[in-house]
Every structure is written in structure tokens, then in C-alpha cells.
Amino acid sequence: MGFQELWQLRAEFARRLSAMYGTEVPAYNTLVEVSTEVNQAHLRRHGAEAERLGSIDRVTAERHGAIRVGSERELAQVARVFAAFGMYPVGFYDLRDAAKAAVPVVSTAFRPVNPDELARNPFRVFTSMLAVEDTRFFDEPLQRELAAFFDRRELFGPELLELADQAAAGGGLDGTAAERLLDLATAAFELSSEPVDHDWYRRLEAISAVASDIGGVGSTHINHLTPRVLDIDALYAGMEARGIAMIDEIQGPPRWDGPDVLLRQTSFRALGEERLFRYADGSVGKGELRVRFGEVEARGIALTPAGRELYDRMVLEADARLAAAPALDRRSVARTVWEENLPRTEKELSIRGLAYFTYTANPDVPLAPDPVTLPELIQSGAAVPAPIVYEDFLPRSAAGIFQSNLTDEGSRNDAAQAAGYDMPRMSAIIGRPVHDPYELYQQQQDASVRALADALGVSIAPPAVTNTAAPAAGH
Ligand code: OOG
Ligand code: NI
């Protein structure tokens, strides 16, 4: 094996994690099989149209993983490991209040940030850190115990961290070092066979099953690995047909006959996995834990802040209508709200500035005199929009994914003070800026608009604000 660039390391890392997770959670292999069948069938039916949001090669290899760590030190280390694979922190997700159940974590996603790298391999890992400082979940004595526990354990050894730094600094590694990096990095996310301290685990579990999964064991592990499908409704039906019960719903936008936006996800519940426990009397015995599950997703177009604001309003509107008439079917209520509010075509989405696109020039369309606006060029057909795919996550779905796998709600003392975690703090912990996802999409769109202006030989006037109630970028 010769010199391996970051994207080659990333693609191989994703393949190895996938092979490992398949041996650990065999139902994952079924999920991948059904996903592949669904994607092939979709491609046969829709041809080139099926690849508008990513080539079939990209989509077939595409996965996201989820991991959870306990402390700031651990988060900083995991960021060094992911940097070796060209994966950088994007977005800040605060899941502490995003659901009814106790989900005491704050999160970011490590992923490639530029379009070429994403096209080569878009592997991303949703990474959560336990919000130990939040006294609504953890009282002071427990905070101290947790901090001491996390200080003692070692998730990533010095050799792995050093190789990771070398790869990041050199833009890759030569063959032997690359092999070693991949071995160590993959092993760091393997489920440990070490006995779990029973009483400590159960004590944390009473607060939140997420807390025990993170702080009750001596290492971290892949919590789920998610393939991407082009038709999630077909996938859902295919899994049920194979006797694998999925959660009741597909999270995110409803199915409708307009453009797919953002992200739709569904999962099957955590399966019982045999684990060893160490009891208070020192004895070791077999038991079972249910923490790892299978998830699958379909990706749509990235929304601008204005589009996201509209999306959030539609979600609230669907909630309100359901609350007023609980007998109605959630999906059809949501579909109606979508039909009333969201443009039905990509062209209209782009003209109204609700979603991100790149543009190519159609030289056959006559141009209006300079300066023209982008919406005018799109309207006339001189600029042809191609959607930019959403590469990130949704806090409500993420909290729902956590929640659907908790056996009980745990506890949160809402009278206590919430600790202040935010994006700047997350950046400080990681030691490099957490990217704002909107800025990344905007840069990609801007670059394409500049190229469009050159190709057409026009100057494009800066966009007028089309949405009167344009909000600040909402997360
Ligand atoms: C992460 C849950 C979030 C998603 O797809 O929204 C997530 C976790 O369970 O650790 O992966
Ligand atoms: Ni996920």
C-alpha cells in the first residue's frame, strides 16, 4: 500500500467500521442488504434522476456512525483521531431539551467539509459528549465521581493519537503507518468485552440510559452505523417484510410529491447483546444490555436559514394540528402542511431562496440586460439549479433516535441550573472552530454563482431579500 491520502484513509476507515459492526450487530448486515436492493431498484426505475443528490457509488458507500464520549479531554482526542480522516466538527446540537426524556448530551458531527471530499467519501460521525456539568442531571458528588472515572480511562492510546496527528499534518500516511492507524482507530470503537461494573452502571442508568452507556463502561463504541437509501419508505416496508420491527415512524419530513429536503430517518430498536457484569461481591456473570441499534436515512436538499425557519414552523404547525385532533394520522397531517407551505419544485425553492443549489449556465436562453438577479436567471432558464445535498443532522430526530431506545425516561431536575454549553465552548474544547453548516453550503453556492456569472458573461446583482420575515440562522 503506497501513500494514503486523507480521503483514502476515511473510505477505508468507514469500510472497516462497517465490517466490524456487521459482526457485532448482524441485523446491521440485513439493513445494508435491503438498502442496497432498494437503491438498485430505485436507480433502475429513475435512471440519472436517481443520482441528483449524489452518485450511486457515493450513496452505496455512504454511512454515518454515532459515538458518545464522557469528557472534554475525550472529545478533544476524538477530534484529533477524526482529523486524520479529513473529518472536522460541523454544527452544534444541544439535545438536553430536545426531548421529553433525559438526554444529557451536547453534540457535533465530524465530516468532510468541502464538496470534492464529500463526493469521494462522505463518512460522518455524530459525536456526543456527556453534559456532566449540568446539575439538572448530575448532582455534585456524582459529577466528581464521573470526572474521576473519565480521567482514569483511556479511550485512545498515545500511539493512535500520534499517528493521527501525523496524518493530519502530512495530508495522509505511507502504507505501513496507514495500516497501523486504521487498525488502532477501528479497534478504539469496538465493543469491549471487559466486565461492566454492575452497580455503577445501574446507578447511572437510573438517571439516563445515555449516561450509563457513556459513563458506565471503560471504553467507547459505535452506537449505530447508518446506511443511506434513496427510498426510505420502500426500505421500511422491506425491513418489516423480513420480520425486523422498525420504530413506528419515519422521523423528519413526511413523504410527499414535492422535493425531498433535509433528512428522513428511521431505526429498529436496540437488540439485546450479551455482556459480562462484575457484581459488588466481586463475582462476574453474564447479563444483557440493549444499547446498539440500526438506523437508516434518506437525504434531501439542504435548506437555507429561511428554508429551515419555514421547516421548523411547519413542524410546529403539524404538532398543533395533531394536538387539536389526536385521532388524525401524523403523516397525513404533516403532508397537508407541507403541501400548503413548501414549493413543489426545485426551481421555485431556489427562486425563493429556501434551499441551496449550484447553478450551470444554459447559453441558449437570451439574457436580460445587465445587471440581472439570480432569481431572474433561474426563472428564465438561463441558470439551471442542481440541489446541494444536506450533509448534517436534525436535533429533533437525533433526540428521537436517542429516546426511542431508552427503556424509561430517566430523570431531570428542571429546578436546577442548566450548564452553558454552546458552539464557542465546543470549539474551545475541540481546539479548532466548529463549522457553521449554513456557511459551508453558502460558500459552495456562492462559488457556483460566480462561475455562472463568468460563463454567461453577466454581472449578477446581490440577492434581494425575498422572504420578508427572514430570520437569523436558526439551529
Ligand atoms: C446519536 C443520535 C443522533 C442521528 O442520526 O440523528 C444520530 C446517538 O444515538 O448517539 O445519530
Ligand atoms: Ni444516527
Residues 375 and 411 in one domain: no
**What is the number of structural domains in the chain?**
2
Query: Taking CA 312 as the corner, what is the angle to CA 310 and CA 317, rounded to the nearest 5 degrees?
Result: 90
136 and 48 in a common domain:
yes
Do 315 and 271 belong together in one domain? no
Q: Measured in angstroms, how far is the CA atom of residue 128 from the centroid of ligand 2?
A: 11
Select from 169, 185, 83, 93 the least CA-distant residue to 431. Answer: 83
| Residue with CA closest to ligand 1 atom 4 | 398
Residue 350 — φ and ψ, nearest 5°? -75, -40
385 CA → ligand 1 middle, Å: 31
Residues 125 and 104 in one domain: yes
Chain center to CA of 458: 38
Query: Given the CA of residue 394, which atom of ligand 1 is nearest to it?
Result: 6
Nearest in space to 229 (alpha carbons), one of 26, 33, 36, 14: 36
407 in the same domain as 382: no
44 shares a domain with 119? yes
Do 184 and 84 meet the contact criterion of CB atoms below 8 Å apart? Answer: no
Same domain, 39 and 156: yes
Helix, strand, or coil here: 119? Answer: helix
Pair (354, 415) in one structural domain: no
For a pocket test of ligand 1, which of 402, 403, 404 has the largest count of ligand atoms closer than 8 A to its C-beta? 402
Ligand 2 mean position, distance from CA 63 (Å): 9
| Residue with grid cell 450509563, as numbered in its chain | 212
Report the 3 state secondary structure along 62-108.
CEEEEEEECCHHHHHHHHHHHHCCCCEEEEEEECCCCCCCCCCEEEE
Determine the structural domain holding residue 194 and report its residue range.
4-300+391-433
Task: Please indicate, yes or no, if residue 243 is contained in any of the structural domains.
Answer: yes
Point out the ligand 1 atom lying closest to the alpha carbon of residue 393: 6
For the chain, helix, strand, coil in percent to 5 are 45, 20, 35
Same-domain pairing of 36 and 117: yes
Residues 214 and 322 in one domain: no
C-alpha cell at 390: 444536506
CATH number of the domain to which 281 belongs: 3.10.180.80
Cβ contact 247:268 at 8 Å? yes
Q: For the chain, 475 residues long, give each residue's pLDDT as a single digit of tens.
A: 899 999 999 999 999 999 999 999 888 999 999 999 999 999 999 999 999 999 999 999 999 999 999 999 999 999 999 999 999 999 999 998 877 766 899 999 999 999 999 999 999 999 999 999 999 899 999 999 999 999 999 999 999 999 999 999 999 999 999 999 999 999 999 999 899 999 999 999 988 889 999 999 999 999 999 999 999 999 988 888 888 888 878 889 999 999 999 999 998 887 888 899 999 999 999 998 888 888 999 999 999 999 999 999 999 999 999 999 999 998 999 999 999 999 999 999 999 999 999 999 998 998 888 789 999 999 999 999 999 999 999 988 888 777 766 666 677 777 776 778 999 999 999 999 999 999 999 999 999 999 999 999 999 987 655 544 444 333 4
- Ligand 1 touching residue 223 (CB < 6 A): yes
CB neighbours of residue 26 within 10 Å: 11
Task: Answer whether residue 377 is part of any domain.
Answer: yes
Cis amide prior to 369 (ω within 30 degrees): no
Q: Where are the alpha helices (DSSP H) in 189-296?
A: 198-207, 209-215, 232-241
Cell of 26: 448482524
Asked if residues 330 and 249 have their Cβ atoms less than 8 Å apart, the reply is yes
For the entire predicted model, the pTM comes to 0.94
In terms of domains, do 379 and 417 share one? Answer: no
In a domain, 466, yes or no: no
3-state secondary structure of 262: coil
Please tell me the distance from the alpha carbon of residue 187 to that of residue 192, in angstroms, as a whole number.
9
- 77 Cβ below 6 A of ligand 1: no
